[in-house]
Structure 1
Amino acid sequence: MNEPVPNADLPKGAYVFRLYLADGAPNSVRALANLYAICRRHFPESHRIEIIDVLQEPLRALEEGILVTPTMVKVSPEPELQIIGNLSDEEEVLRALGLPQREPA
Structure 2
Amino acid sequence: MKKILVHLVFALLLCSCGVGVYSVSSGKSDDSTISFTDNTERTISITIDNAKTETLKTVKQKDFQKARNIKKTSINTLTLKPGQHNIKVLENDKILLEKVIFISAGEHKIIAL
TM-score (norm. length: structure 2):
0.29
Q: Computing the radius of gyration over CA atoms, which structure comes out larger, 1 or 2?
A: 2
Task: Kindly indicate which of the two structures has a greater share of residues assigned to strand.
Answer: 2
